[in-house]
Structure 1
Amino acid sequence: MTGSLEFHSPLSPERARRIVDRLAGGHPATVLDLGSGWGALLLRLLDAIPGATGVGIEINTDDVARGRDLARRRGLADRVEFVEESAVGTERGPADLVLCVGSGHALTETPGDFAGTLRELRRLVAPGGRVLYAEGFWQRTPTDAELARMWPGATGADHTDLAGLVEIAVGAGFRPVWTETATEDEWEQFESGYQADLEEWLAAHPTHPDAAARRQKADSHRASWLGGYRNVLGMAYLTLAPVGR
């Protein structure tokens, strides 16, 4: 249940506005959103760039349907297409602007292959274009106890630090023209919003047949955040320019 979220990442409306203004200033004609979810940032960009067209690639059926509905409501249905398919090896590029916001895993078949993800982004962006790549990074080295409370099988190799992430981007053929990271408040808004609808439902339906399973899901996620990756896992928003060939 994510109806309380505008963005499926720790991204405030204020930061989103700044990112949109910066990216729209390049006047991209085509926008490709990889692992788009419901395309909240994609739709904002199309609102800000008259005449631009966009494609959102997403494998989650509900998110695709939500994206199409939002596009209709915003009068953008004729300028954006949400497709339910894998982004691995996609041939839907190149595009002037490529978005990959917290969904780098959608581009490779190997978890944690940040170099592979960035090579794919380099392949999919048009010459002179831009990439917005949002990815997790370790703010500090997690302890064994913290790793044990995170997602199943979490290890220190799941992420690099911010400097390492940016160096991987440079190695893939980009220059980092803008580097910014989510604040603690953005993380708290995201995590609370992610759980809010489910917690409200649980408070109102304590004896529902599905309550036990949903309660376990909510409690598990909250423990993972508060006892595991809170103030350990960061989120970087990198605006990348491809180096000319």
Structure 2
Amino acid sequence: MTAATTPQDDLPPRLTRLAFHGPLSEARAAAMVGRLAASLPATVLDIGCGWGELMLRLLAAVPQAHGVGVDVNAADLERGRLAAGARGLADRVEFAEESAVGTGRGPADVVLCLGASQALSDDLVPALRELRRLVADGGRVLLGEGFWQRTPTEAELAGMWPGASAADHHDLATLVDLTVSAGFRPEWIETASLDEWEEFESAYQADRELWLASNPGHPLAAETREHLDSHRTAWLTYRGVLGLTYLTLAPTAQ
């Protein structure tokens, strides 16, 4: 007997192969959690949290901690709630569907902002100031932020995201200097490896690539193909040019 299907059953799956929504290995994530957990934080705030995987791992490592994840993507937030429930963390975490702009959720002992500074401001400098406002004295910010590994050529920019500009990112040294100017000292500086990027970008596409291979005549096939092909072109263009740094930042005393 064939199980009944719903209208959603034949749609392209979404991000099921990703543990983290970014180029982050299990080994690096474990080291980050260990460093952040060492100070026994009581509160964790995750800006642009998605499904909040790193936050959940930190809460699991620090049994007294409570966390709040803020995002505007309802599907990702629901995935986070389900994961929290499955791990026995539901009573210690809130996933809030709201904008982070001007949020009153802080200050927190640990603030996570992984590839999501744009959730605070389109401009990095005020976003960094907001992170300083949101972290408690003596706490930590874990910032994941893009940087240029080298200045991209005009041809490379044309193959990236729409409207890509060399002004979209800084080099790593300038980026770190900006965090210092915003009121932090860098405790730890690390960058995603090419292996982490390749695993992330492949996993980001893989579900839908296999779906498209099996459903070339589906009404959504053309739209899915266009999205996959344009994203793959962009990623293979910025591969080795765009980097991602993870900065563990300690706020300077005020």
2:114 to 101, 123, 133: 101
Q: Which of 71, 78, 87 matches 2:84?
A: 71
SS of the residue corresponding to residue 119 of structure 1 reads helix
Q: Match for 2:151 among 141, 145, 159?
A: 141
Distance of 2:131 and 2:167 partners within structure 1: 22
| Equivalent residue number for residue 247 of structure 2 | 238
Query: Deviation at 1:39?
Result: 0.3
Aligned-partner residue type, residue 86 of structure 2: R
| 1:46-89 C-alpha deviation (Å, 9 max, x unpaired) | 00001100000010010111111110011100000000000000
Q: Which residue of 1 aligns with 2:130?
A: 120
- What is the identity, as a one-letter code, of the residue corresponding to 2:46? D
Residue in 2 that maps onto 1:82: 95
Q: What secondary structure, in the 3-state scheme, does the structure 2 residue paired with 1:50 have?
A: coil
Q: Over residues 204-231 of structure 1, what are the superposed CA-to-partner deviations in whole Å (9 max), with x where a residue is unaligned?
A: 11111110110010001000111x2110
User: Unpaired segments of 5 or more residues in structure 1?
Assistant: none
* TM-score (norm: length of structure 2): 0.94
After TM superposition, the runs of 4+ consecutive aligned structure 1 residues lying more than 6 A away are: none
Q: Distance in 2 between matches of 1:213 and 1:82?
A: 30
- How many residues were matched structurally? 241
CA distance in 1 between counterparts of 2:113 and 2:133 reads 13
TM-superposed CA distance for 1:114, in Å, is 1.2
Matched with 2:39 is: 26
One of 200, 206, 218 as aligned partner of 2:228 = 218
CA RMSD in angstroms, aligned pairs only: 0.5
State whether structure 2 residue 181 is matched by structure 1 residue 171.
yes
SS in 1 for 2:246: strand
Identity %: 64
The secondary structure found in structure 1 opposite 2:167 is helix
The TM-score normalised by the length of structure 1 is 0.98
Q: How far apart, CA to CA, are the structure 2 residues paired with 1:240 and 1:137?
A: 17
1:229 pairs with 2:235 = no
Give the alignment partner of residue 7 of structure 1, picking from 7, 14, 20.
20
- 5 Å matches for 1:198-209? 198-209=208-219
* Partner-residue secondary structure (3-state), 1:78: helix
Q: Secondary structure at the match of 1:97?
A: strand
Distance (whole Å) between structure 2 residues aligned to residue 61 and residue 191 of structure 1: 22
Structure 1 position 52 matched with structure 2 position 65: yes
Give the aligned residue type for 1:101. L
Structure 2 unmatched ranges of 5 or more: 1-13
* Distance in 1 of aligned mates of 2:207 and 2:98: 27
**Quick one: which of 140, 146, 150 aligns to 1:130?**
140
Q: Write the distance in 1 (CA, Å) between the matches of 2:223 and 2:141.
A: 39
